Each structure stands twice: as C-alpha cells, then as structure tokens.
Structure 1
C-alpha cells in the first residue's frame, strides 16, 4: 500500500516530504480561511471574494517571471525562498484588520504560491529523469492529498471550537509549515542554473510559444473541475437535490482518498506524449459522463437514491481528474525546454490560478442557476478541450522539430 503513495528514496522522497510538510497547514487553512476572514477580521464575503480573485489574477501572471528566476538562479534556492515568502504571507493574515491590507496580503500570498509551484516543478524536472517525472509527480500528488486530509481534520477542530484563538492557531500552523517545507527543500541537491538566453532570443520565451500556449489553455479549461467539489457541487446538493447534507463531506472524502490510493496507478499508463494525449482525451469523456450523472441526481425523490447517484458521479469525476492530471503532467514537462522548465511550468501552472479565479462564477452560473442543461454544457466543454489536446500536442511537437532543424548547421559540399 505504501508503494502507491510514498515515492522512491532520494530526491523524490525529500520532495514529497517538503510538500507534505506544508500540506498539513494548507489543509487546515483551506477549511478555516473563509470563516476567519469573515468572522474574525470582519470582512464581507464579497470583499473576500474580490481580494482572492484579484490575487489569483496576479498570481497567474507572476508564475512565469518567478519560474524564470528559478531557472536562472537555481530551482532549489528559489523554491526555498518562495516557501519562506509564502509562509510570511500567511503570517501577515494574522495582523489583517482592514480590507485594503487584506487585498495586499492576498496578492502576496497568491503570487508566492504560484511562483513556489513553478519552482518546485522546475526542481522536480532537474532532479528526476525525464521518463520518471510523471510517475514521481503522481506520488507527490498522492502524498499532498494525504497531508491535506489530515490538515482538514485539524481545521475541523478549529471550526468546532469556533474561536478567534483557534483560527489564529490554524494560520500560524500554516505559516510555520511553509518554513518547515523550506528547510526540507534545502536538503535536496542543487540544480545548476540555466545559462542566459542567447542574444536576439526573448528572455521569457514561453510567452511567444503559441503551441505551448494552446496546450496550456486547453489544460486550463479542463481544470475547471477544481471548483466543483469545493463550491458548485455543495450548492447543487443543497439547492437542487434531496440528498442529505452529509453527502457533501462524503464526496470530499471519496475524492481525497481516491487520489491518495489510485493516482499513482492511473499515472502508470502515461509514458509519453501519445499516451498523455489519449489520457486527457479520455478524461474529457469520463468528465462528460460524470456531469450527466450529476444532472440526473436532481431527478430522484428519495434522499438515499440521490446520494447514491451523487456517489457514482463523484467516482467518475475523480477518475477523470486523475486521468487528466497524469496526462497534463507529462505534456507540461515534455514540451518545455530543459533549460527553461521554471518559466514554462509557471505558465502551464497559471491554469490552476485562472480556474480558481473564474471557476466559481462560471460554475455557479452554469450549474446552480441553469440546472441540468448547465451540467451537460460543462461536460461538452470538457470533451471539446480533451479532444483538442492531441492535435495541439502534435502541433507543438512539429514546432519543436522545425526549430531544431533550423538550428542545425548547414553542411557545405
């Protein structure tokens, strides 16, 4: 069982330990942050939503230059520095007393988080053989989900006590967890920095890489599943179905444990760009099936029947999620130049920030307001994006092959 979660010894296991260290704190933070900002700080839900939306918008932009910094200055040191900065940003939430200060702290937090994600991916790319990256990334994801689950349980204790001191303790724990992660990252071997871009070539080459931009856009569309479990599905269950309230928690537990125990197994099927593209295409089809079953959950009159339908839909959703993740990791790594992994991973990872920024409004409109037709429209969007990934990847491969041929010296006869 542990072989499905714990990565091999050496740098992969240290990377997992670093991410596990702050996953505990993040899990508790995700559970408690909204109530802390509204009940303790005194912000309105609209103010919290605006601050986080603006923050993730800036974070999606900041990931590329911070990833480039990891390329040029070394991924290990940059990742450790950004982990410390993220911890400081979380710590600043402890002293927030006004909306303006909250917005500044939220922007600092999201920018550091996006940069840290890019630096960690660059570190993984520099320390792990190309053929093993997707498998190791799956191990890391399983480890992180396990840590988030434990952290969420700790956050649940703070919700139970529902006091200012309990919420402050959660934020302090999250800040310290990032500092612990930074210390663990420093135990890794150093990754040599990349040389500067040759004269005449752009520093941030990813911004001119149209095939990679298309691949990243398609991945961003697929990532709209992310706000489903945290926002859209709970609202759907409460407002559109007769399922009991505990179904929301059951679906979250099912999703978390499925990733912990099965993500590595699903990722084994992805070995190259061809299998990665097929995995993403199939993920779109599975997500369509999931959306269709979620739509059917509103038709039942029995609470238990509705809960059973929702559990089936959630099983399909998490399967599609794991298939998408496995394919996307391979594509994001393999299409990035070896010496520019940081900036490319920052660009590819911006899809997560954009999904967090746009997803809540889009999904609540599609699903809660429109009902079953919105579910089918969302499923169709997943199918279209998943089906387009294969042609987009082949375009990127042809573009790279053409660039490589152009750099070959011309032989004189």
Structure 2
C-alpha cells in the first residue's frame, strides 16, 4: 500500500501575528462608523484622564483657589449643566445629533484652554459653567447619534464598545498624567490641559468622518397623524426608568467615593489595596462590557437584566458589610475583591440594560431630548449621591451597606416592572 500524500509545506508558514490580529479584530466594532465612535471615545477619554489627574492640584496650587472654592464652583457648574441638558437634546432633534456633537466637542476644546486664563474664582466659575453645559450635553447626544446610525442590538453593542474603550482611555490618561505630574512644574500642568483640549479637536475631526444622519421617523400612512410632541417629563414610564437608572448609578459612587473611605477607616486592609480593587474593576469592565450587552440587547431582555443588576449590587453590598466580621488582612482582601467583582458585574449589566431601555422607550421623533432627560438621572446621582452615601456611612456604619443594597434591589425591581409594562405587544 502506498503512503498517503504528504501535505505541501513548500509555502511560507502563516505569520504568528496573523491569529493575534484576527482575534483583536473581533474585539472591534464591525462597521466603519462603530470603529470611528470607539476611536473617538478612546481619544477623548485619554485627554479627560490627563485633565482629571491634575486639575484640582492646578486650581489650588497654581491658580491659588481654595478647595472649598473649587468644590463650590464645580457644584454650581454641575447645576448649570443639569439645567441645560434637555434643551441641548431638543436642539439635537431639530438640527441633527452629528452637527450638535461637533459643536459641543469644539466647545469643550475651547473651554479647557480657557481654564488656563482663569486667575480668580469668578473667572474659574464662569469657565466651569460654560464648559459644563457642553460636558453634560455631549454624552446623551453621542448616544442619540449611535441610535441614528445603528438599529436593534447593534446600538447597545456599539455603546458597549464606547464604554469599554472610554474606561481604557481614562486609564491611559491617568498613567500619562502620573509621569508628567512627577515633574510638578506649572508648564507640565498647562500641557495636561492643552493635551485634553487637543483630544477634543481630534474628536471633532473623527465625528466629521461619520456619515450624515437625519433624525429617524417611523413609517406612516399619508393620512396618519404624527404623535403629539410630548416632553419626556410628561411620560410616566420614562420618568420612572430615569429615576430608577439614577439610583442604580450609585454603583459609581460606591466604587469611587464610599469604598476608599470604608477600606481605610473600617477594615484592616492596607490602603494600597484600593489601587488593586480599582484596577480589577477597570480591567473587568473593559473585557466584559461588550460581551455582556447580548444579555440586554432587546427591551424584553433589558428589564430582567436591570433586576439582575440590582441583585448583583445587593450582593456586593452584603460582601462589603461582611468585611467587619473578619480581622485577617488576607480574608478581608478576598472579600473586598469578591465584592468588587460583584459590583462590576452589576455595573456592566446595568449599563447595557440602561442603553436599551433609554433607546426603546423613547419615541423616534424625540431621541435627543428623551436621552438627554434620561441622563439627568446620572447627573442627579453625581450631585446628590456622594454626599448622601457618605452621610449614611458616617451615621450608620456597616448598616449603611444593607440600606444601600436594599435601595439597589428596589431600583432594579422598579425598572424591571416599568419596562415590562412598557413593552409593545408586537
């Protein structure tokens, strides 16, 4: 019997990097528009990381403002941004999300340069108020642009890419700023501000590469009247899910505000372990946000996903509270790590569900203003959440975790029931 023919190995062997690049390609959005949006998020968030890492030190050490003045100024600016978010969303419905996003992104580039010319509190306050109008208005309009460019599950998946790379970009920006801040000179601080402004200039150019889109309009018969132009505040379902989403957003306050205080003052864990926990959260978010979107890529899935996210956040709170029951640093560290994993799981699932809910419960004619209204829940949490959570922690100690967990669960149930009631029969 003759031997079977041997395979031809005369050709060049496949490059080892080919398989790696193939896998990396699968981690990117499928469409050109999706890749541009992801790159835009990476660039702008890297610049934001540069700014956030050094801004407070610059305003206090270089400009000479007190910490109280900076805090008051940013709080007033946040209130201004809160008040102008929905009007900007209404403008996006009228003039197009792409056009408005280019305007606001350019506005942000100019605003971050203007900070360098502020030499007293009132100048700082004026620049901050003008800048926060764009800072608060841009994210929902960016989401509206995603809604105009994509249909169905692809919208939530694209938002997942955007959030994942935004987390990665912030981490890169923080790292670059850390190296720069080691110098400590005024020029280095100014370069961080200019680097952030430059990132928004690049962002403008990237947005202009996206296709022109017009607001979506549902198909109607010639004699069919359009629905009334109802503002979102008069839509009970949308108000309810906006409030529930704002409460679920407390997970960011738990991670960035409550956890550092809890770890340093109420556990035996070393302070440096906080860096480990924050790194775990960032890495898991970047790795899992896109895959998790498949569990909430329809309205029928998004409701239960909101409930599950509330349960996961409840579990995280119970684990945080459990650190008071042990003394060993190793045991405390393991429980804290498990709590952060549960918190991150609830966070990424909640994010995916919130995108789908905010898209599907908003009318096609009003995506801009409805998504802007939905983001008010996030803004309200940023204004009220840190103070309320720290007050609760200072007055009730470990019991605060049980109360926070109950609030998370109640919010998950509320969103789930509201979404289920709002699902269309078809």
Check 1:164–1:275 CA distance in 2 against 1; reply closer, same or farther (3 A cut).
same
Among 124, 143, 162, the residue aligned to 2:146: 124
Tell me the SS of whatever aligns to 1:269.
Answer: helix
- The C-alpha deviation readout for 1:29-76, integer Å capped at 9, x for no partner, is 222222222222222222222222222222222111111111111111
Partner of 1:341: 367
Q: Which runs of 5+ in 1 are unaligned?
A: 405-413
Q: Which runs of 5+ in 2 are unaligned?
A: 1-22, 218-224
TM-fit CA distance, 1:222:
0.6
Please say if 1:379 is aligned against 2:401: no
Mapping of residues 190-269 of structure 1, within 5 Å: 190-193=212-215, 201-202=228-229, 205-269=231-295
Given that residues 60 and 351 in structure 1 are in contact (C-alpha distance below 8 angstroms), is that contact kept between their aligned partners in structure 2?
no
Given that residues 288 and 379 in structure 1 are in contact (C-alpha distance below 8 angstroms), is that contact kept between their aligned partners in structure 2?
yes
Partner of 1:60: 82
Moved more, 220-229 or 52-61: 52-61
Given that residues 4 and 139 in structure 1 are in contact (C-alpha distance below 8 angstroms), is that contact kept between their aligned partners in structure 2?
no
- The C-alpha deviation readout for 1:322-377, integer Å capped at 9, x for no partner, is 11001111000111111211111111112221111111101211224432111111
TM-fit CA distance, 1:101:
1.8
Partner of 2:17: none
Among 109, 119, 136, the residue aligned to 2:131: 109
Check 1:337–1:199 CA distance in 2 against 1; reply closer, same or farther (3 A cut).
closer
Check 1:90–1:124 CA distance in 2 against 1; reply closer, same or farther (3 A cut).
same
Check 1:5–1:255 CA distance in 2 against 1; reply closer, same or farther (3 A cut).
farther
TM-score of the superposed pair, with normalisation by structure 2: 0.88
Mapping of residues 1-400 of structure 1, within 5 Å: 2=24, 5-193=27-215, 201-202=228-229, 205-397=231-423
Given that residues 32 and 155 in structure 1 are in contact (C-alpha distance below 8 angstroms), is that contact kept between their aligned partners in structure 2?
yes
> CA–CA distance in 2 between the matches of 1:221 and 1:387?
12
> CA–CA distance in 1 between the matches of 2:374 and 2:206?
25
Given that residues 148 and 215 in structure 2 are in contact (C-alpha distance below 8 angstroms), is that contact kept between their aligned partners in structure 1?
no
Given that residues 87 and 178 in structure 1 are in contact (C-alpha distance below 8 angstroms), is that contact kept between their aligned partners in structure 2?
yes
Aligned residues: 397
Q: Write out the 4+ residue segments of structure 1 that deviate beyond 3 Å after TM superposition.
A: 198-202, 394-398
TM-fit CA distance, 1:276:
0.4
- The C-alpha deviation readout for 1:61-117, integer Å capped at 9, x for no partner, is 211111111111111111011001112222221122212222222222221012111
Given that residues 59 and 350 in structure 1 are in contact (C-alpha distance below 8 angstroms), is that contact kept between their aligned partners in structure 2?
no
Moved more, 19-28 or 303-312: 303-312
> CA–CA distance in 2 between the matches of 1:4 and 1:259?
17
> CA–CA distance in 2 between the matches of 1:14 and 1:96?
34
Check 1:70–1:239 CA distance in 2 against 1; reply closer, same or farther (3 A cut).
same
> CA–CA distance in 1 between the matches of 2:276 and 2:297?
33
TM-fit CA distance, 1:380:
0.6
Check 1:132–1:309 CA distance in 2 against 1; reply closer, same or farther (3 A cut).
same
Moved more, 303-312 or 373-382: 303-312
Check 1:338–1:100 CA distance in 2 against 1; reply closer, same or farther (3 A cut).
same
> CA–CA distance in 2 between the matches of 1:307 and 1:246?
11
TM-fit CA distance, 1:300:
3.0
> CA–CA distance in 1 between the matches of 2:406 and 2:183?
43
The two structures, once aligned, show a CA RMSD in angstroms of: 2.0
TM-fit CA distance, 1:121:
1.0
- The C-alpha deviation readout for 1:219-245, integer Å capped at 9, x for no partner, is 001111112222221122111112112
Tell me the SS of whatever aligns to 1:297.
Answer: helix
TM-fit CA distance, 1:10:
1.4
TM-score of the superposed pair, with normalisation by structure 1: 0.91
Tell me the SS of whatever aligns to 2:214.
Answer: coil
Check 1:107–1:396 CA distance in 2 against 1; reply closer, same or farther (3 A cut).
farther
